[in-house]
Amino acid sequence: MDDQLPVFVTARKDLLVGVNWQSADSAGEMQFVAPLAIGGRTIRGLWLRGSCYETYPHEAVMFQLEVSRDGVRTRTPLSRIDWRPLQQPHKNGPHKDPLHSRTVVWGSHIHGFAANWVAEKGVMRAGNLPYALEIAPDPRGYDDLIDFVAKQFRINGLDKIERPLWMQRLL
């Protein structure tokens, strides 16, 4: 399957089912995992994951393109978008590309496939997508974020994702 990963990332994908955010834990995390299709055919093991927190409206939202393998419990991330993350900054380590090497990224960022793919070995880098770049301009709101995710991950049908049911915090 690893040799298919670049194909999965670059192909035009479709979200064919409606998606609702579900409570995931007592800390208020909400998430979903939805299958993706290429050419009208659902691809076994290709997923879009989303997570956010019900008490952090319009921040700490993550979307990730990932793959699963038979007999392996955790999925392998291919690319991730972190919108207005709570934990900052993201620090890149050394990289052969100076754009990624030892940079510090504040705010919204994307962990792109190309920077985290080791082509000569045909595997993703260890460390949960260690390289990221700033998203500029930062999506102004959730709808802009969905448009950005659709473009970056090449996924049609993201309008099938229901908006998160965020709770307003008392000040």
Is residue 130 in a domain?
yes
Q: Which amino acid, one-letter code, is at 155?
A: I
Location of structure tokens 């915090």: 169
Residue 33 lies in a domain: yes
* Domain total of the chain: 1
Residue 13 lies in a domain: yes
Q: Does 171 fall in a domain?
A: no
The residue with tokens 């955790």 is 74
β-partners of residue 33 are 49
User: Which residues form the domain of 49?
Assistant: 2-160
Tens place of pLDDT per residue across the chain (171 aa):
577 899 999 999 999 999 999 997 888 999 999 999 999 999 999 999 999 999 999 999 999 999 998 888 889 999 999 999 999 899 998 888 887 889 999 999 999 999 999 999 999 999 899 999 999 999 999 999 999 999 999 999 999 999 999 976 555
Query: Would you state the pLDDT for residue 156?
Result: 98
Strand partners, 67: 46, 76
Question: What residues are paired with 51 via a beta bridge?
Answer: 31, 62
Residue 52 confidence (pLDDT):
97
Q: Is there a domain that residue 91 lies in?
A: yes
For residue 139, what is the DSSP state?
P
Three-state DSSP state, 166:
coil
Rounded CA-CA distance 81/104 in Å is: 16
Asked whether residue 47 is assigned to any structural domain, the reply reads yes
pLDDT score recorded for residue 169: 56
Question: What pLDDT was estimated at residue 168?
Answer: 63
Sequential DSSP letters for 54-115: TTSTTSSEEEEEEE--TT-SSPEEEEEEEES-SS--EE----SSTTTTT-EE-SSEEE-HHH
Burial zone of 163 (CB within 10 Å; 0-12 exposed, 13-18 middle, 19+ buried): exposed
Which residue carries 């700033």 as its tokens? 134
In a domain, 60, yes or no: yes
